[in-house]
Every structure is written in C-alpha cells, then in structure tokens.
Amino acid sequence: MAEILSQSPEVFAAIAFAFALLIGSFLNVVIYRLPMMMHREWREQCDELQSTEGPEIPDGPFNLVLPRSRCPSCGKQIRSWQNIPVLSYILLGGQCANCKQNISTRYPLIELLTAVLAAACAWRFGFGWEALMAIGLTCTLVAISMIDYDHQLIPDSIVIPLVWIGLAMSVFHPLTGADALFVSPVDSIIGAMAGYLSLWSVYKLFKMATGKEGMGYGDFKLLAALGAWLGLEAVPIIVLMSAVVGAIVGIGLIVFRGRDRALPIPFGPYLAAAGWITMLYGDTIKNAYLDTFL
C-alpha cells in the first residue's frame, strides 16, 4: 500500500482529501467549542476572585468530545448519519432534520476547505512524514483562523504546542532533503525568535506612538510557530504577504462596506494563509523575488 501511495500522488491526494473531510468536521467542533470553553473558564475564575454571582454557567462536562453535538436552534441531538461531512448537509437540504432551521453553509465549506488544502499538501510533498506534518499544520491553521475571525483571539492551547512541535521537528532535519519541510534546529530556533520579536516590536512601537494596541499576543505566538516550522527565511515572506493582503482587505472593508475603522480586524487568518502558502511555495516565491529585483 505504501508503495502505491508513494508512486501515485493522485491516489495519495484523494485519500488525504477524504480523510481531511472528517478532520474538517471535527474542526467545526473545535472552532465552536474551544472559545466557549475558554470563556467559561475565565468566568469561573472571575467569579472566584470577585466572590460575586456571575452569569449562569451550564452544568455538566463541556469539552471537545462531550456533550454530543446538537442543533443550536432546537437542541435536538445530531445523529451519526446526519454528521457525515458535506454529504449529510446535502442529504438534509441544508436544514435541521427536526426543526427545519437552515444550517449555515459555513460548516460544509470548512470541511471542503480543509480537504482541499490537505490534498494540496499531499500532492506537494508526496507520501511520507512531511505530508502528514504539513496536513497537521494545515488543519491547525484552519482552526486558528476561524477562531480568530470569530472572537479575535488565538488560543494558547493550540498555538503554544504548535511552537514546540515545530522545534521538535527540526531534530529530523538531517534525515530529509534540501527541498524539505523540516528545517535545521538552529534555523527553527532563530525562526521562532524572529517571528515573535518582529511582531512584538511592531506592537510596542505602535503602542508608544498611538497609545493603542495594534495586535494581540496571539499573533506573535502564531508567527513564532510558523518560524519554528519553516525557518528564519520564511518569516519575512510571511510578514510581507500577510501585511499586504491584510491592508488590502481592511481598506476594502472600510471603503466598500463602510466598516468602522475602530473595529478590530483579526490578523491571524492572514498570517495563517501566508504561512500555508510559504510552506508550499516559499522557495519559489523567494527565487522569483530575487530574480525580479536583484
């Protein structure tokens, strides 16, 4: 089986696509529940410190496994056959089987996005550990992007392990080729440091100049994680791409949609997108830049 997958990138990409659909379904749970779990923990801590009655907190376990998924409108438990990625959405006609309330298209779109990106990683790296790690990073970046988009926060419980995994991966650098995902330990460590300190410096300078916070600490940690995974040379590419795209999108929202300039725009999705593109095509982008301007 391994020989077939290594010799046929089409088959490996198709398997990665199907498997990532299931992961995408779980990511929907993570994106929805993890911020709620964090807010619940914060409220409990605040109530304990203030010794006052806070908002009502639901009883019973609430994590990424329990309770079973339910319709947010009627509370009816979702059956297994109603939770098949993409297919169940189509079979149900985009509605809850019980109350007929419309189901957001966001859920199948996240599943499809995760599957397409995972298939691209499988195609790019071929069968092996590199593809597996790239798919893992991709799924994590999808979850981080959507949580930051919804809540303007990047959970430490996701991004900190991502930093350590990137550093640990660098140990295996001698076992891979020159055009590999893994970077050397030195490059990984310096990349993590450069990623964190570059955005932290911008944050401090902006705060000194305006008295306002231009971004959150989660952005520093995310770029540190990407630096640990992809190395020092990837950091400037990621920063440049994310800044340009973020500026274009932000200006577009203000001009065409009348978005209030005071409203924060999450930067995590732009960092994640730039990091993913750099992971796949960083060398191509760097060489094209050098050939054009040098």
**245 and 141, same domain (yes or no):** yes
Report whether 277 contacts 238 (CB < 8 A): no
Same domain, 2 and 43: yes
Q: Identify the domain boundary among 93, 127, 161.
A: 127
| 62 in the same domain as 164 | no
- The reply to whether 107 and 147 lie within a common domain is no
Give the residue among 265, 233, 239, 271 at the shortest CA–CA distance from 251. Answer: 265
Q: Are 78 and 68 in contact (CB under 8 A)?
A: yes
Same domain, 132 and 117: no
What pLDDT shows up at residue 193?
Answer: 96
Q: How far apart are CA 98 and CA 106, in angstroms?
A: 20
Query: In this structure, are 102 and 21 located in the same domain?
Result: yes
The token pair at 179 is: 């055009």
- The residue segments making up the domain with residue 94 are 1-127
pLDDT in tens, the chain (294 residues): 667 777 788 888 999 999 999 999 889 989 988 988 888 888 877 776 665 554 455 566 766 767 777 777 777 778 777 777 888 888 888 888 778 788 889 999 999 999 999 999 999 988 888 899 999 999 999 999 999 999 889 999 999 999 999 999 998 876 554 446 778 999 999 999 999 999 999 889 888 888 777 788 899 999 999 999 999 999 999 999 998 888 887 777 777 666 666 667 789 999 999 999 999 988 888 777 666 766
| Distance, CA of 118 to CA of 23 (rounded, Å) | 10
Q: Are 294 and 168 contained in the same domain?
A: yes
Residues 246-261 have pLDDT tens digits of 888 777 777 766 666 6
Q: From residue 123, how far is each of 35, 66, 118, 226, 278 by CA, in Å? A: 33, 35, 9, 21, 15
Question: Partners of 102 in the beta sheet?
Answer: 95
User: In terms of domains, do 202 and 278 share one?
Assistant: yes
The length of the chain in residues reads 294
Write out pLDDT tens, residues 32-48.
Answer: 889 888 888 888 777 76
For residues 167 and 284, membership in a common domain is answered with: yes
Taking CA 160 as the corner, what is the angle to CA 264 and CA 238, rounded to the nearest 5 degrees?
Answer: 60
Q: Do 207 and 178 belong to one domain?
A: yes
Q: Are residues 118 and 137 part of one domain? A: no
Residue 84, pLDDT score: 79
Asked whether residue 133 falls in the same domain as residue 113, the answer is no
Total number of domains constituting the chain = 2
Number of H helices, E strands in the chain: 10, 0
Amino acid at 255: V
Which of 107, 127, 147 marks a domain boundary?
127
Domain stop point among 86, 106, 127: 127
Listing DSSP states for 234-290 in one string gives: HHHHHHHHHHHHHHHHHHHHHHHH---TTS----HHHHHHHHHHHHHHHHHHHHHHH
Under a CB-based contact definition with an 8 Å cutoff, are residues 221 and 156 in contact? yes
Q: What is the pLDDT of residue 58?
A: 56
- pTM (predicted TM-score): 0.84
| Residue 75 DSSP class | -
Q: In which element (H, E) is residue 37 found? A: helix 9-50
Determine the pLDDT at residue 56. 52
Among candidates 92, 55, 40, which has minimal Cα distance to 71? 92
